[in-house]
A and B are shown apart, each in its own frame.
Chain A
Amino acid sequence: MTDQAYNFAYLDEQTKRMIRRAILKGVAVPGYQVPFASREMPMPYGWGTGGVQVTAACLTPEDVLKVIDQGADDTTNAVSIRKFFQRTAGVATTEATAEATVIQTRHRIPEAPLTEDQILVYQVPIPEPLRFLEPRETETRKMHSLEEYGLMHVKLYEDIARHGHIATAYAYPVKVEGRYVMDPSPIPRFDNPKLSGSPALQLFGAGREQRIYALPPYSRAVSLDFEDHPFEASKAPHDCDLCGASDSYLDEVITDDQGGRMFVCSDTDHCRCRRAAGHVGRLGAPVAEGVA
């Protein structure tokens, strides 16, 4: 069901070429933010226009697309973006991480390990990791070109001095291949270790800010830390109440007004696969009964 009024995957071929050139430059200089002439998209800025443009430039008719938001395939914005590509590109879609060739994500990296045949596209709100330390783009670009990252370390140090910990829970900055400090998009820092050495190509698109950057397969992305305060990936100290997973990132769900709550995998496909394989959590029912 492709909409004939628009080109394949919405954008015209010239625009896709322009985006692909930016992507190639990003791949050639890992972690470097490449300016690109972001187009106005039919969804608002902040809804993933950068990710959508990168996905549109990567898609081929043979691709199988998965779209997640907060780790889930069924969140409204994920549904909306998936529908957009079903309509404009007519590509096959899936919820299974392993079956997808292109995965567009907001705020999470899937739990299942990715492969060389996959592209992970991140939606990025603020691509500049130094932005909250220095609001001026003209300054931060200079800082990147001079590799002047002292300010960032001072900020992390001040966190430790004040709180005893680095108080950055998501969008935790990484240094890519020993050169550029990069914002991994607002993924929880639990996901940071998955950025490094991934066999998949990781692309980052920021539409409003007109930037694209990339982590080529198997590139090194080190979360910033100190020798005596090493980086720590953290999550809620619970197991998933539906599938019992102890090693996946969990969402907290308030279940009543008496303080009752449950913890469930944020990655819905991961949770579904585990339950299908017979794992049952504290509140989970066997999968045959069709829970969630």
Chain B
Amino acid sequence: MYVAVKGGERAIDNAHAWLAEERRGDPSVADLTIPQIREQLRLAVNRVMAEGSLYDPDLAALAIKQARGDLIEAVFLIRAYRTTLPRHGVSLPVETAQMAVARRISATFKDAPGGQVLGPTFDYTHRLLDFTLAANGEAPVAPRAPAAPGMVPHITSFLNRDGMIEDAPRDDTLPPDLTREPMELPASRATRLQAIARGDEGFILSLAYSTQRGYGRTHAFVGELRIGMVAVEMEVPELGFAICIGEIEVTECETVNQFKGSRTEPPQFTRGYGLTFGQNERKSIAMSLVDRALRWKELGEDFTGAPAQDEEFVLMHADNVQATGFLEHIKLPHYVDFQSELELVRKLRAEVEASAMREAAE
């Protein structure tokens, strides 16, 4: 009887075998392939790459398959793999002004050099279930246009010319690497952005939403949202110059925020910034709102007590691998602690009962 109380190796092995079987599901249904997930569940792949901090669509697809579609579990698998990889060096900052844009929109200007490019977006679709997909309907072929040549300048650079928006001078300080150094508070903006980029999409979304509803309001406009491929360049010491080591897809969002000025700053627009791997609009917009909210101190604004303004609150709770781990660990046995609480409560109850008896007798 007593043996059954404690776990054991056999229980773990059997549980793992059952899990593997459940993951596969009905064997008469075809097995999902990694290319299918990579190509057809691309937004899930993007999210796993962004929060897993590893740009590898095939590994992200594998993680999604192994995690049975649980994206936080997939992020965890990717993180646990990433941590074992050697760090060969640091790339140069990606030049998003040189991006080959697939989508580029501005909510602040009707048109601007480079134009508005809608790209593949859900934005103006009607959310009606498409039953032809269930019947294996083939997708129509989209019309083609030649890519626009040349670079697409950032919208904020137009605003910047007449001082209407705060300057964002180039800063080549090497940012800290959160995966190699412990987080220190107060954190630099680079550290904050890094933590938010890895942070849970749902958490960042809700924080950003809360600022829109008045908890740390920053009056944000999407100055520009752009999605496309950028080159990753790295300086190789042996060569003495930078070479392109590959291309990645990123989503960049710059918000333009109203700012009435403070003791130190003149009235002008301010900025929030978001950047994620892959097409991930919700996350990068939310990121830029939270980034802006966290900048209150630097801009001389008031701290209103809003969660999104609270750096420690945001940074310490944004990571879903940490959060889910700690949340779910309460499933682990706690009988030793519970036993000590049990004894304490029994003791306190006994004393309360005894004093009630005394009072009744008096």
A→B interface (CB under 8 Å): 6, 10, 12, 35-42, 44-47, 49, 69-72, 74-77, 79-80, 83, 106-108, 125, 136-138, 163-165, 167, 169-171, 186-190, 208, 210, 234-236, 242, 249-253, 255, 262, 264, 266, 268, 291-292
- Nearest B residue to A254 by beta-carbon distance? B5
Residues of the A chain whose Cβ atoms lie less than 8 Å from the Cβ of B341: 169-170
Cα separation A253 to B335 with both chains bound (whole Å) = 10
Q: Are B6 and A38 in contact (CB under 8 A)?
A: no
Residues of the A chain whose Cβ atoms lie less than 8 Å from the Cβ of B27: none
CB-CB contacts of B1-44 with A at 8 A, as 1s and 0s?
A: 11101111101100000000000000000000000000000000
Return 25 A-B CB contacts under 8 Å, by A number.
A39-B179, A40-B80, A40-B321, A41-B80, A41-B83, A45-B321, A46-B325, A47-B332, A69-B333, A70-B334, A76-B7, A169-B337, A186-B337, A189-B340, A190-B340, A208-B326, A210-B183, A236-B339, A236-B342, A249-B339, A250-B339, A252-B342, A255-B1, A266-B335, A292-B2
CB-CB contacts of B302-345 with A at 8 A, as 1s and 0s?
A: 00000000001000100001101111111011111101111110
Known: A74-B9, A169-B341, A252-B335. 12 other contacts (CB 8 A): A6-B84, A39-B179, A40-B179, A46-B327, A47-B329, A49-B325, A77-B332, A108-B336, A137-B316, A167-B344, A234-B347, A251-B339
Residues of the A chain whose Cβ atoms lie less than 8 Å from the Cβ of B347: 165, 234
B119 vs chain A, min Cβ distance (A)? 33
Looking at chain B, what size class is its interface with the partner chain? 35 or more
- Nearest B residue to A210 by beta-carbon distance? B182
- Nearest A residue to B78 by beta-carbon distance? A40
Residues of the A chain whose Cβ atoms lie less than 8 Å from the Cβ of B327: 46
Number of A-B contacts (CB under 8 A): 152
Cα separation A253 to B339 with both chains bound (whole Å) = 10
- Which of A71, A107, A292 meets B334, CB within 8 Å? A107
Tell me the dominant secondary structure on chain B's binding face: helix
CB within 8 Å for A208 and B325 given contacts A79-B8, A292-B2:
yes
Residues of the A chain whose Cβ atoms lie less than 8 Å from the Cβ of B184: 35
Tell me the dominant secondary structure on chain A's binding face: loop
Tell me the residues in window 43-80 of chain B with beta carbons closer than 8 Å to chain A beta carbons: 76, 79-80
Residues of the A chain whose Cβ atoms lie less than 8 Å from the Cβ of B5: 253
Most buried by B among A36, A107, A125, A171: A107
| Interface flag for B186 (CB, 8 Å) | yes
CB within 8 Å for A35 and B12 given contacts A45-B321, A47-B329, A208-B322:
no
Q: Are B76 and A44 in contact (CB under 8 A)?
A: yes
Residues of the A chain whose Cβ atoms lie less than 8 Å from the Cβ of B180: 37
Q: Are B12 and A235 in contact (CB under 8 A)?
A: no
Residues of the B chain whose Cβ atoms lie less than 8 Å from the Cβ of A187: 336
B264 vs chain A, min Cβ distance (A)? 23
Cα separation A250 to B326 with both chains bound (whole Å) = 26
Residues of the B chain whose Cβ atoms lie less than 8 Å from the Cβ of A106: 332
Q: Are A40 and B332 in contact (CB under 8 A)?
A: no
- Which of B3, B328, B330, B342 meets A292, CB within 8 Å? B3
- Nearest B residue to A82 by beta-carbon distance? B9
